[in-house]
Structure 1
Amino acid sequence: MVTITRSAADELKSIFKAEASMEPADCGLRIYVAGMGDHGIMYGLRLDNARHDHDLVLDLSGIMTLIDEKIAPSVQNIVIDFTDTHDGRGFVINDPYLCCGHR
Protein backbone atom coordinates (compact mmCIF):
# COMPACT_ATOMS: atom_id res chain seq x y z
CA MET A 1 0.00 0.00 0.00
CA VAL A 2 1.40 3.40 0.99
CA THR A 3 5.07 3.78 1.91
CA ILE A 4 6.38 6.43 4.31
CA THR A 5 10.13 6.92 4.06
CA ARG A 6 12.33 7.12 7.13
CA SER A 7 12.93 10.85 6.59
CA ALA A 8 9.18 11.51 6.35
CA ALA A 9 8.46 9.38 9.42
CA ASP A 10 11.15 11.16 11.44
CA GLU A 11 9.80 14.59 10.46
CA LEU A 12 6.22 13.57 11.24
CA LYS A 13 7.24 12.29 14.68
CA SER A 14 8.93 15.65 15.36
CA ILE A 15 5.79 17.49 14.29
CA PHE A 16 3.60 15.28 16.47
CA LYS A 17 5.80 15.99 19.50
CA ALA A 18 5.61 19.74 18.85
CA GLU A 19 1.85 19.81 18.25
CA ALA A 20 0.43 20.84 21.63
CA SER A 21 -3.22 20.16 20.76
CA MET A 22 -2.72 16.47 20.02
CA GLU A 23 -1.78 13.62 22.33
CA PRO A 24 1.22 11.78 20.83
CA ALA A 25 -0.55 8.41 20.90
CA ASP A 26 -3.54 9.87 19.03
CA CYS A 27 -1.64 11.75 16.33
CA GLY A 28 -2.21 10.51 12.83
CA LEU A 29 -1.49 11.41 9.25
CA ARG A 30 -4.55 11.61 7.03
CA ILE A 31 -4.14 11.10 3.30
CA TYR A 32 -7.00 12.64 1.35
CA VAL A 33 -7.99 13.62 -2.18
CA ALA A 34 -7.14 17.29 -2.63
CA GLY A 35 -8.47 17.58 -6.18
CA MET A 36 -7.74 16.65 -9.75
CA GLY A 37 -4.72 17.82 -11.68
CA ASP A 38 -3.43 17.46 -15.21
CA HIS A 39 -2.06 14.01 -14.39
CA GLY A 40 -4.87 12.63 -12.26
CA ILE A 41 -5.73 12.67 -8.59
CA MET A 42 -3.85 15.05 -6.31
CA TYR A 43 -3.46 13.96 -2.70
CA GLY A 44 -3.06 16.02 0.43
CA LEU A 45 -1.69 15.31 3.89
CA ARG A 46 -2.85 16.67 7.23
CA LEU A 47 -2.50 15.89 10.90
CA ASP A 48 -5.63 14.28 12.23
CA ASN A 49 -6.71 12.50 15.38
CA ALA A 50 -10.33 11.83 14.36
CA ARG A 51 -11.02 8.32 13.15
CA HIS A 52 -14.14 7.63 11.11
CA ASP A 53 -15.99 4.34 10.57
CA HIS A 54 -14.93 4.27 6.91
CA ASP A 55 -11.21 4.84 7.63
CA LEU A 56 -8.48 2.32 7.17
CA VAL A 57 -6.07 2.80 10.08
CA LEU A 58 -2.56 1.64 9.26
CA ASP A 59 0.75 1.75 11.10
CA LEU A 60 3.26 2.80 8.46
CA SER A 61 6.83 3.34 9.65
CA GLY A 62 5.49 3.95 13.15
CA ILE A 63 3.01 6.57 11.93
CA MET A 64 -0.73 6.07 12.41
CA THR A 65 -2.04 6.66 8.90
CA LEU A 66 -5.72 7.30 8.16
CA ILE A 67 -7.11 6.64 4.68
CA ASP A 68 -10.75 6.71 3.65
CA GLU A 69 -11.52 3.23 2.32
CA LYS A 70 -13.00 4.80 -0.84
CA ILE A 71 -9.60 6.14 -1.93
CA ALA A 72 -7.50 3.22 -0.66
CA PRO A 73 -7.20 1.55 -4.09
CA SER A 74 -5.83 4.74 -5.66
CA VAL A 75 -3.10 5.26 -3.03
CA GLN A 76 -1.69 1.74 -3.16
CA ASN A 77 1.62 2.72 -4.71
CA ILE A 78 2.33 6.18 -3.36
CA VAL A 79 5.49 7.01 -1.44
CA ILE A 80 5.46 9.86 1.07
CA ASP A 81 8.90 11.41 1.48
CA PHE A 82 10.33 14.47 3.20
CA THR A 83 12.95 16.54 1.44
CA ASP A 84 15.19 19.26 2.83
CA THR A 85 17.25 20.85 0.05
CA HIS A 86 18.37 24.29 -1.09
CA ASP A 87 15.07 24.44 -3.02
CA GLY A 88 13.06 24.11 0.20
CA ARG A 89 11.77 21.54 2.61
CA GLY A 90 8.52 19.67 2.77
CA PHE A 91 6.61 16.50 2.16
CA VAL A 92 6.42 15.04 -1.32
CA ILE A 93 3.96 12.43 -2.54
CA ASN A 94 5.38 10.30 -5.34
CA ASP A 95 3.37 7.91 -7.49
CA PRO A 96 5.33 5.66 -9.84
CA TYR A 97 2.38 5.58 -12.23
CA LEU A 98 2.31 9.33 -12.84
CA CYS A 99 4.30 10.51 -15.82
CA CYS A 100 5.70 13.52 -13.97
CA GLY A 101 6.59 11.74 -10.74
CA HIS A 102 5.41 14.27 -8.14
CA ARG A 103 2.02 15.45 -6.97
Structure 2
Amino acid sequence: MGVTLTERAAQEVQRIVEQQKLDEGHVLRVGVTGGGCSGFSYALGFDDKFDESADSKFECHGVAVVVDKKSALYLDGTTVDFYDGIEKRGFTFDNPNAVKSCGCGSSFQA
Protein backbone atom coordinates (compact mmCIF):
# COMPACT_ATOMS: atom_id res chain seq x y z
CA MET A 1 0.00 0.00 0.00
CA GLY A 2 2.82 2.43 0.83
CA VAL A 3 2.49 6.17 1.35
CA THR A 4 -0.01 8.28 -0.58
CA LEU A 5 0.14 12.00 -1.29
CA THR A 6 -3.08 13.91 -1.71
CA GLU A 7 -3.35 16.07 -4.78
CA ARG A 8 -2.97 19.17 -2.59
CA ALA A 9 0.24 17.79 -1.02
CA ALA A 10 1.64 16.89 -4.45
CA GLN A 11 0.94 20.42 -5.73
CA GLU A 12 2.80 21.91 -2.74
CA VAL A 13 5.76 19.55 -3.31
CA GLN A 14 5.88 20.57 -6.98
CA ARG A 15 5.73 24.26 -5.97
CA ILE A 16 8.69 23.78 -3.61
CA VAL A 17 10.67 21.90 -6.28
CA GLU A 18 10.16 24.81 -8.70
CA GLN A 19 10.91 27.43 -6.06
CA GLN A 20 14.16 25.71 -5.01
CA LYS A 21 15.04 24.92 -8.64
CA LEU A 22 15.64 21.23 -7.91
CA ASP A 23 16.45 19.06 -10.91
CA GLU A 24 14.32 16.15 -12.09
CA GLY A 25 16.55 13.63 -10.29
CA HIS A 26 15.21 14.66 -6.87
CA VAL A 27 12.55 12.61 -5.11
CA LEU A 28 10.42 13.26 -2.06
CA ARG A 29 11.74 11.05 0.73
CA VAL A 30 9.23 10.17 3.46
CA GLY A 31 10.51 8.41 6.53
CA VAL A 32 10.45 7.87 10.27
CA THR A 33 13.12 8.81 12.79
CA GLY A 34 13.37 8.01 16.48
CA GLY A 35 12.46 10.81 18.86
CA GLY A 36 9.72 13.32 19.27
CA CYS A 37 7.33 13.52 22.18
CA SER A 38 5.55 10.26 21.23
CA GLY A 39 8.50 8.05 20.20
CA PHE A 40 8.81 8.48 16.41
CA SER A 41 8.93 11.57 14.23
CA TYR A 42 7.98 11.93 10.60
CA ALA A 43 10.75 12.89 8.19
CA LEU A 44 9.98 14.63 4.91
CA GLY A 45 12.57 16.05 2.53
CA PHE A 46 14.14 15.94 -0.90
CA ASP A 47 16.83 13.48 -1.90
CA ASP A 48 18.80 12.86 -5.07
CA LYS A 49 19.58 9.24 -4.12
CA PHE A 50 17.53 6.08 -4.47
CA ASP A 51 18.72 2.59 -3.55
CA GLU A 52 16.55 -0.17 -5.03
CA SER A 53 17.68 -2.65 -2.37
CA ALA A 54 16.83 -0.34 0.57
CA ASP A 55 14.02 1.88 -0.77
CA SER A 56 10.57 1.60 -2.30
CA LYS A 57 9.79 4.14 -5.00
CA PHE A 58 6.40 5.09 -6.45
CA GLU A 59 4.61 8.05 -7.98
CA CYS A 60 1.68 10.09 -6.63
CA HIS A 61 0.11 12.84 -8.72
CA GLY A 62 3.34 13.31 -10.68
CA VAL A 63 5.66 13.31 -7.63
CA ALA A 64 8.29 10.59 -7.19
CA VAL A 65 8.08 9.35 -3.58
CA VAL A 66 10.72 7.20 -1.87
CA VAL A 67 10.35 5.38 1.47
CA ASP A 68 13.13 3.32 3.02
CA LYS A 69 12.06 -0.21 3.89
CA LYS A 70 12.42 0.25 7.68
CA SER A 71 10.19 3.35 7.65
CA ALA A 72 7.71 1.57 5.38
CA LEU A 73 6.85 -0.77 8.26
CA TYR A 74 5.53 2.21 10.25
CA LEU A 75 4.12 4.22 7.32
CA ASP A 76 2.18 1.62 5.34
CA GLY A 77 -1.20 3.14 4.46
CA THR A 78 -0.21 6.68 5.50
CA THR A 79 -1.67 9.65 3.61
CA VAL A 80 0.33 12.87 3.46
CA ASP A 81 -1.76 16.00 2.98
CA PHE A 82 -1.00 19.72 2.99
CA TYR A 83 -2.94 22.09 5.20
CA ASP A 84 -2.92 25.85 4.64
CA GLY A 85 -5.07 27.62 7.19
CA ILE A 86 -5.01 30.72 9.33
CA GLU A 87 -3.79 28.91 12.45
CA LYS A 88 -1.18 26.66 10.81
CA ARG A 89 0.39 25.67 7.51
CA GLY A 90 2.24 22.48 6.63
CA PHE A 91 2.19 18.82 5.75
CA THR A 92 0.03 16.49 7.81
CA PHE A 93 0.21 12.71 8.21
CA ASP A 94 -2.79 10.40 8.55
CA ASN A 95 -1.13 7.19 9.73
CA PRO A 96 -3.36 4.16 10.45
CA ASN A 97 -0.43 2.49 12.28
CA ALA A 98 -0.15 5.22 14.93
CA VAL A 99 -1.73 4.18 18.21
CA LYS A 100 -0.98 7.56 19.77
CA SER A 101 0.23 10.90 18.41
CA CYS A 102 1.25 14.17 19.94
CA GLY A 103 -0.70 17.41 19.80
CA CYS A 104 1.56 18.94 17.17
CA GLY A 105 1.01 15.97 14.81
CA SER A 106 4.69 15.54 13.98
CA SER A 107 5.37 12.48 16.16
CA PHE A 108 3.58 9.24 16.93
CA GLN A 109 3.70 5.92 18.74
CA ALA A 110 3.26 2.66 16.85
Tell me the TM-score normalised to structure 2 length.
0.78
3-state SS of 2:35 partner: strand
> How far apart, in 2, do the equivalents of 1:84 and 1:70 lie?
30
Aligned twin of 2:34: 35
Q: What RMSD, in angstroms, separates the aligned Cα atoms of the two structures?
A: 1.9
Aligned twin of 2:69: 69
Identity of aligned residues (%): 28
3-state SS of 2:70 partner: coil
Aligned twin of 2:6: 5
Gaps of 5+ in 1: none
> How far apart, in 2, do the equivalents of 1:90 and 1:8 lie?
9
> How far apart, in 1, do the equivalents of 2:67 and 2:96 lie?
19
Amino acid at match of 1:19: Q
Listed as ranges, the matches of 1:1-103 within 5 Å are 1-20=2-21, 22-23=22-23, 25-53=24-52, 54-98=54-98, 99-100=100-101, 102-103=105-106
Number of equivalent positions: 101
Gaps of 5+ in 2: none
The Cα shift of 1:90 comes to 0.8
